């Protein structure tokens, strides 16, 4: 028993070394550990129900995503890259059903943002900035795995997330990745 | 000429280290005094040679000698002199040279101050120390030569990452290395003891000052790094559970356990194998940290030049040092028989509990750090492990630890009286409960997180419990004032050290709890004249000024005024800096502190319509984290001046003399 116990540290150590060697060998072949795909890909979109932010448009809940291929775009009025992405979204609204989620923002600021830049969304829900982090509304961002804004999720007809864009879309992203996928999923 | 001199000195140091690693070791096993004593001049020579190498590199940086590749890649003539010097260790090659420089500094310290050490132990410890030197000097010479020349020399250098051009970060690496490398001393003594097959109270006493010095440096280094992250990165946080932070935190946890278990070896002559194992593990975790940071096997927000070829070398070093020492441990541990027996409820028992919790803590941090690697290797998917894991696994381990921290020092050695200790801590219990209830009520009853009340209560328990223990030892209020003063004077400095350090941790806990529970954050676009409410402060963006010149950057500087109920509290100037070389932006947060909380302002990008993205935070009690860390370091330093280290350890010599007299 005791002999086994004193040999434990060295055993654990060499098991660790095995893992390190495996990783280093992979890195020699150019595989770095820095790319972490979203765990939400090919998973059903999480349950959520967010209040509206613009007067004549409904809020957004999970049930709204079913039946259509939908692009869910997280944005905020305080986010400068969102502003850069915005003109592209206006064009995109004609090619895919586009809905928005205002991320950690105040309703009046979000409304001013949309009035100034235009509103391409069919429905918009809001995660209010003034809420406690344990509020179910604040949890929506965490459930989606949002790491920052802008981020966009392409959800298929069954409500399964098929694609995630981290950061603003570029015209190339839209034409080469997003639109072909939308066409395929719409079949 | 200067870089070649440095390079040559480093090569000479390698040869000296080879001699120091072998001759004294052979001498110790043969009992040849002359061979053993070679370790001392060798350690001094090694230090001097590495100092010449290090000095040469510093000279290259100070004089901006861009014919040296390392200087050209990392320095620039526009840099203020202070950052030209700190730039020496703000890159991979230079920081490795600093590493071996500090290693040799400790080696010389043992050679110079270790006059009372038994010659064989000293010879073996210095030989082990030199083996580590050989490994790292080879690493520098073969894979990371800082003296490589560049021809033709460029007109100017690439400059240094502006994030690192900061006073806090200038001292962060040296303090951290003093800590990491300092634990190599405990390691070398542990290996020497394993070879000798003897660990006793005298051994523990010789090792203790070195581990204590390393612990103080590491605590200060981690504190500086955290403080830097807090005030420069502009996200209002001070700890991210990033692999690189964990790499420094794991040796700290293991080192703290080592400090406590070595007390048991010193006072009670038991827990020997465990203490030796901790000494090995602590230094191994330092090496593991070096490996994780430099090889790029983990994803981290810190970007160090990661290079698989270097990773292979450090891994090989790790296998030799840790694998070798743990194997030696496996075969020799059984020979380290413990002396004193003790009941579970005793001073030893509480120190052992501390050890178990500390090592489990280090283990969970290790698991969390390496988990993404494990799942990837076992094909369970790519994941990243963040704060939620560490908060939910690590913090629950620390709660019982802090609880026992107040009780442990009240216990007697061998067999303690738990009921008695608890009854003496009644005051602490009542006050802790009062603090917890008051926190809960003041923070708005049910709405406030209950754990925050628990956290502050725990801090009060530790602080008052520690104070009660001190008061009992000096019989505060139970004897005449004269006797009290006399007792204060006679109380050993190590006892003061414990009291101060434990109280410092209580202060840190207050800071961690407060900043986590009640932090508020407001992100928005503000136009000049706009006012935002943050935690009861009205913060107005008065205006911004573009193109404010700095020594090697231009800044966008904002002016915020913070008011509370109409009264002016502070004028704050956060900046967004654009460095010229390398051309990179940094944020410079403006912090107004009143020691209870920090008002923290960051200015971001313009939105094109005259507004700016601003981030305003109120971070309650954050200053307590850094003040507490400083108090802990202070406590460690007080303990370091204890009389028993100054007069040395006569124990083993006395025993040897007695044995000689009998013979």
Which residue in B has a C-alpha nearest to residue A104's C-alpha?
A: B523
Interchain CB distance below 8 Å, B334 and A36? no
Indicate if B475 and B540 belong to the same structural domain: no
Indicate if B540 and B575 belong to the same structural domain: yes
In this prediction, residue B443 carries a pLDDT of: 77
Those residues of chain A that have pLDDT short of 50 are 1
In this prediction, residue A33 carries a pLDDT of: 62
CB atoms within 10 A of CB A172: 9
SS3 assignment, position A155: strand
In this prediction, residue A28 carries a pLDDT of: 75
DSSP state of A160: B
Interchain CB distance below 8 Å, B329 and A79? no
CA B382 to chain centre: 30
Considering CB atoms only, which of A7, A20, A80 is closest to B607?
A80
What ipTM does the predicted assembly reach?
0.85
Decide if B555 is inside a domain. yes
Residues A129-154: pLDDT tens digits?
Answer: 776 666 778 788 888 888 888 899 99
In the stretch 148-187 of chain A, residues with CB closer than 8 A to chain B read none
DSSP assignment of A45-112: PPP-EE-B-STTS--EEGGGGTTS-EEEEEE-TT-HHHHHHHHHHHHHTTTSEEEEEEEEE-HHHHHH
Which positions in chain A touch B318 (Cβ < 8 Å)?
Answer: 17
Interchain CB distance below 8 Å, B523 and A13? no
In this prediction, residue A128 carries a pLDDT of: 83
CATH 3.40.50.150 fits A49-186, yes or no: no
Indicate if B579 and B616 belong to the same structural domain: yes
Residue range(s) defining the domain that contains residue B535: 520-620
Backbone φ and ψ of B411, nearest 5°:
-80, 150
Interchain CB distance below 8 Å, B297 and A79? no
| Residue from A9, A14, A109, A148 to probe the interface with B (highest B Cβ count within 10 Å) | A9
Considering CB atoms only, which of B326, B522, B524 is closest to A13?
B326
In this prediction, residue B663 carries a pLDDT of: 43
Decide if B78 is inside a domain. no
Considering CB atoms only, which of A16, A78, A83 is closest to B523?
A78
In this prediction, residue A37 carries a pLDDT of: 61
Nearest-Å Rg of the Cα atoms of chain B is 27
Domains of chain A by residue range: 1-35, 49-186
Decide if B396 is inside a domain. no
Considering CB atoms only, which of B315, B319, B381 is closest to A24?
B315
Q: How far is B204 from chain A (nearest CA, A)?
A: 21
SS3 assignment, position B586: strand
Indicate if B495 and B526 belong to the same structural domain: no
Interchain CB distance below 8 Å, B323 and A17? yes
Decide if B604 is inside a domain. yes
Interchain CB distance below 8 Å, A24 and B311? yes
In this prediction, residue B479 carries a pLDDT of: 83
Those residues of chain B that have pLDDT short of 50 are 649-651, 653-657, 659-663
Q: How far is B525 from chain A (nearest CA, A)?
A: 5
Contact between residue B178 and residue B214 where contact means Cβ atoms under 8 Å apart:
yes
SS3 assignment, position B155: coil
Decide if B201 is inside a domain. no
Decide if B463 is inside a domain. yes
State the total domains in chain B: 2
Interchain CB distance below 8 Å, B299 and A34? yes
Indicate if B414 and B512 belong to the same structural domain: yes
In this prediction, residue B650 carries a pLDDT of: 47
In this prediction, residue A1 carries a pLDDT of: 43
Which positions in chain B touch A2 (Cβ < 8 Å)?
Answer: 334
pTM comes to: 0.85
With tokens 């620039």, the residue in question is B76
Decide if B107 is inside a domain. no
């Amino acid at each position: 028993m005791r002999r086994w116990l004193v040999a434990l540290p060295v055993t654990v150590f060499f098991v660790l070394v095995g893992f390190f060697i495996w990783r280093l060998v992979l890195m020699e072949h150019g595989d770095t550990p820095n790319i972490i795909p979203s765990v939400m890909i090919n998973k059903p979109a999480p349950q959520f129900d967010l209040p509206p932010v613009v007067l004549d448009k409904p809020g957004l809940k999970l049930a709204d995503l079913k039946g259509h291929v939908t692009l869910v775009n997280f944005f905020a009025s305080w986010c400068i890259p969102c502003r850069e992405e915005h003109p592209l979204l206006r064009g995109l609204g004609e090619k895919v059903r586009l809905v928005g989620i205002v991320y950690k923002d105040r309703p009046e600021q979000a409304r001013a943002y949309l009035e100034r830049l235009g509103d391409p969304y069919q429905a918009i829900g809001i995660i209010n900035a003034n809420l406690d982090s344990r509020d179910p509304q604040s949890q929506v961002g965490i459930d989606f795995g949002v790491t920052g804004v802008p981020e966009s999720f392409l959800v298929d007809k069954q409500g399964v997330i098929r694609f995630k864009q981290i950061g603003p879309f570029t015209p190339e992203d839209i034409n080469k990745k997003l639109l072909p996928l939308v066409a395929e999923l719409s079949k | 000429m200067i870089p070649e001199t440095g390079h040559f000195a480093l090569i000479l140091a390698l040869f000296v280290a080879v001699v120091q690693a072998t001759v004294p070791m052979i001498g110790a096993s043969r009992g040849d005094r002359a061979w053993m004593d070679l370790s001392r001049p060798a350690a001094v020579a090694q230090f001097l040679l590495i100092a010449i190498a290090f000095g040469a590199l510093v000279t290259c940086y100070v004089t901006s000698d861009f014919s040296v590749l390392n200087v050209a890649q990392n320095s620039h003539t526009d840099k203020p002199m202070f950052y030209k010097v700190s730039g020496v260790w703000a890159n991979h090659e230079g920081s490795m040279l600093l590493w071996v420089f500090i290693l040799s500094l400790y080696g010389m310290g043992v050679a110079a101050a270790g006059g009372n050490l038994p010659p064989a132990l000293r010879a073996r410890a210095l030989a082990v120390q030199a083996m580590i030197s050989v490994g790292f000097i080879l690493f520098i010479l073969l894979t990371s030569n800082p003296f490589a020349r560049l021809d033709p020399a460029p007109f100017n250098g690439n400059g240094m990452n502006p994030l690192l051009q900061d006073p806090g970060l200038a001292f962060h690496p040296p303090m951290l290395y003093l800590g990491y490398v300092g634990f190599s001393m405990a390691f070398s003594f542990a290996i020497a003891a394993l070879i000798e097959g003897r660990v006793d109270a005298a051994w523990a006493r010789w090792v203790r000052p070195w581990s204590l010095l390393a612990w103080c440096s590491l605590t200060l280094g981690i504190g500086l790094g955290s403080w830097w992250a807090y005030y420069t990165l502009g996200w209002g946080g001070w700890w991210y559970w990033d692999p690189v932070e964990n790499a420094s935190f794991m040796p700290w946890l293991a080192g703290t356990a080592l400090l406590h278990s070595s007390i048991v070896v010193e006072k009670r002559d038991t827990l020997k194998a465990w203490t030796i194992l901790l000494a090995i593990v602590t230094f191994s975790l330092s090496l593991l940290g070096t490996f994780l940071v430099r090889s790029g096997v983990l994803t981290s927000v810190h970007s160090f030049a990661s290079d698989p070829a270097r990773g292979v070398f450090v891994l090989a070093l790790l296998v030799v040092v840790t694998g070798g020492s743990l194997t030696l441990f496996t075969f020799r541990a059984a020979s380290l028989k413990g002396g004193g027996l003790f009941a579970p409820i005793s001073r030893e028992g509480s120190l052992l509990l501390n050890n178990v919790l500390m090592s489990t803590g280090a283990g969970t941090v290790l698991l969390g750090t390496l988990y993404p690697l494990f799942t990837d290797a076992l094909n369970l998917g790519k994941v990243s492990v963040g704060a939620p894991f560490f908060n939910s696994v690590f913090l629950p381990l620390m709660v019982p630890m802090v609880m026992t921290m107040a009780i442990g020092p009240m216990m007697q050695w061998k067999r303690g009286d738990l009921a008695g200790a608890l009854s003496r801590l009644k005051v602490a219990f009542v006050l802790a409960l009062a603090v917890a209830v008051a926190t809960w009520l003041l923070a708005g009853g049910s709405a406030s997180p209950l754990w925050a009340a628990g956290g502050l209560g725990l801090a009060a328990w530790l602080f008052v419990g520690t104070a009660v223990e001190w008061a009992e030892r000096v019989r505060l209020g139970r004897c005449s004032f004269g006797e009290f003063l006399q007792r204060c004077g006679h109380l050993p400095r190590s006892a003061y050290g414990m009291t101060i350090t434990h109280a410092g941790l209580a202060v840190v806990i207050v800071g961690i709890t407060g900043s986590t529970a009640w932090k508020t954050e407001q992100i928005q676009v503000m136009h000049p004249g706009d006012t935002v409410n943050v935690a009861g402060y009205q913060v107005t963006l008065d205006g911004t000024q573009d193109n404010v010149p700095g020594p090697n950057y231009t800044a966008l500087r904002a002016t915020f005024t913070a008011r509370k109920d109409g009264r002016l509290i502070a004028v704050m100037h956060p900046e967004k800096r654009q460095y010229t070389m390398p051309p990179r932006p940094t944020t410079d947060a403006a912090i107004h502190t009143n020691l209870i909380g920090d008002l923290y302002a960051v200015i971001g990008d313009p939105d094109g319509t005259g507004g700016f993205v601003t981030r305003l935070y109120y971070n309650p009690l954050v200053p307590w984290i850094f003040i507490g860390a400083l108090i802990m370091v202070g406590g460690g330093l007080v303990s370091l001046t204890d009389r028993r280290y100054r007069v040395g350890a006569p124990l083993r010599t006395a025993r040897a003399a007695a044995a000689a007299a009998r013979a």
